[in-house]
């Protein structure tokens, strides 16, 4: 699990430090708002990782089993889809939200 967590951290670094962020312009009440989108995949000997969402909040999926919720560059929750339907939050938040 430590190796898996390390790979997820590496993927977060790759996502935030390279040009895989797509900018999408959305018209909002006569203003144009830029939303930074994350949409990428990464394959290694540890499996296939896919990141999708907005830069502020996105999900990293590993091999369609594990999901990691990332907010502002920090992993805040995980989910093992074989055992849980909801995210389990880190930091003593009292379990799933």
Q: What is the pLDDT of residues 17-55, one digit of tens each?
A: 443 444 444 455 556 666 788 899 989 898 999 999 998
Better pLDDT: 12 or 23: 12
The H or E element spanning position 2 is helix 2-17
> Distance (Å, rounded) from C-alpha 3 to C-alpha 32?
41
């Amino acid at each position: 699990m430590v190796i898996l967590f390390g790979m997820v951290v590496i993927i977060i670094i790759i996502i935030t430090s390279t040009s895989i962020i797509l900018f999408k312009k959305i018209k909002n009440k006569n203003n144009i708002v830029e939303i930074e989108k994350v949409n990428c995949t990464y394959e290694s000997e540890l499996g296939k990782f896919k990141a999708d969402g907005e830069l502020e909040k996105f999900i990293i999926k590993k091999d369609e089993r594990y999901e990691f919720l990332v907010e502002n560059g920090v992993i805040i929750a995980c989910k093992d889809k074989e055992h849980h339907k909801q995210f389990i939050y880190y930091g003593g938040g009292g379990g799933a939200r």
